[in-house]
């Protein structure tokens, strides 16, 4: 297994940034994703689903999500998208990326808005520091497209 950590994926063309341990909230469950950002595309790697019911939740989901991200981070786009659970979102045009730091009462939030989609993700850890990602995203998509607070 690779010892790759989330962040800039080395030796990739096009450049890629891996964000780990994010999830979306649906009415009955939490959908876990590993996010692979490229200059023109966001790849959502499905890392599982856990249910809101306390009795049905899965402990350790964040560790498994990172393992899945590590497996997919260096793979080609076509290989990642060969899995029917994974999907791609176009970031061409003028995407809006909003990153809000967490606090002791709220989880970090990542919003990605394009002409076709509006996605919201939350991070497992309230103390997650997204400043490196915000810097990379500003360089990649432009400072006007990224808001970090």
The CATH number covering residue 98 comes to: 2.30.29
| Residue, of 38 and 26, whose pLDDT is higher | 38
Distances (CA, A) of 99 to 2, 33, 38, 112: 28, 16, 17, 9
- The tokens for 132 are 């490196």
Structure confidence at residue 50 (pLDDT): 83
Q: What is the mean pLDDT of residues 94-118?
A: 93
In sequence order, the 6+-apart residues with CB closer than 8 A to the CB of 17 are: 7, 8, 9, 36, 37, 133, 136, 137, 140
Tokens 């989609």: give the residue. 117
Quickly state the pLDDT bin for 17 (edges 50, 70, 90). Answer: very high
> Residue 51: which domain range?
7-148
State the total domains in the chain: 1
Give the pLDDT confidence score for residue 1 in this predicted structure: 46
- Interval 77-83 mean pLDDT: 96
Quick one: pLDDT band at residue 66, thresholds 50, 70, 90? confident
Q: For residue 64, what pLDDT is reported?
A: 81
Q: What is the mean pLDDT of residues 13-39?
A: 94
Token digits for 120?
A: 């919201």
Q: Is the distance from CB of 38 to CB of 77 less than 8 angstroms?
A: yes
Residue 28: the pLDDT is: 85
Question: Is residue 88, in this structure, part of any structural domain at all?
Answer: yes
Burial 132-143 (b: 16+ CB within 10 A, else e): ebbebbbebbee
Q: Is the dihedral of CA 68, 110, 44, 42 positive or negative?
A: negative
Can you tell me which residue has the tokens 């999830």?
Answer: 23
């Amino acid at each position: 297994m690779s010892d790759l950590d989330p962040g800039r994926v080395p030796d990739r063309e096009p450049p890629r940034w891996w964000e780990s341990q994010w999830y979306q909230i649906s009415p009955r469950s939490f959908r876990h994703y590993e996010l692979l950002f490229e200059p023109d595309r966001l790849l959502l790697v499905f890392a599982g689903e856990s249910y809101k019911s306390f009795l049905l939740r899965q402990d350790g989901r964040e560790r498994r999500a990172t393992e899945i991200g590590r497996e997919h981070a260096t793979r080609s786009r076509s290989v990642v998208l060969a899995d029917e659970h994974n999907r791609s979102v176009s970031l061409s045009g003028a995407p809006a990326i909003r990153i809000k730091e967490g606090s002791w009462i709220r989880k970090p939030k990542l919003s990605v808005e394009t002409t076709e989609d509006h996605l919201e993700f939350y991070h497992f850890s309230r103390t997650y520091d997204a400043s490196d990602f915000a810097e990379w995203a500003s360089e990649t998509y432009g400072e006007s497209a990224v808001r970090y607070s």
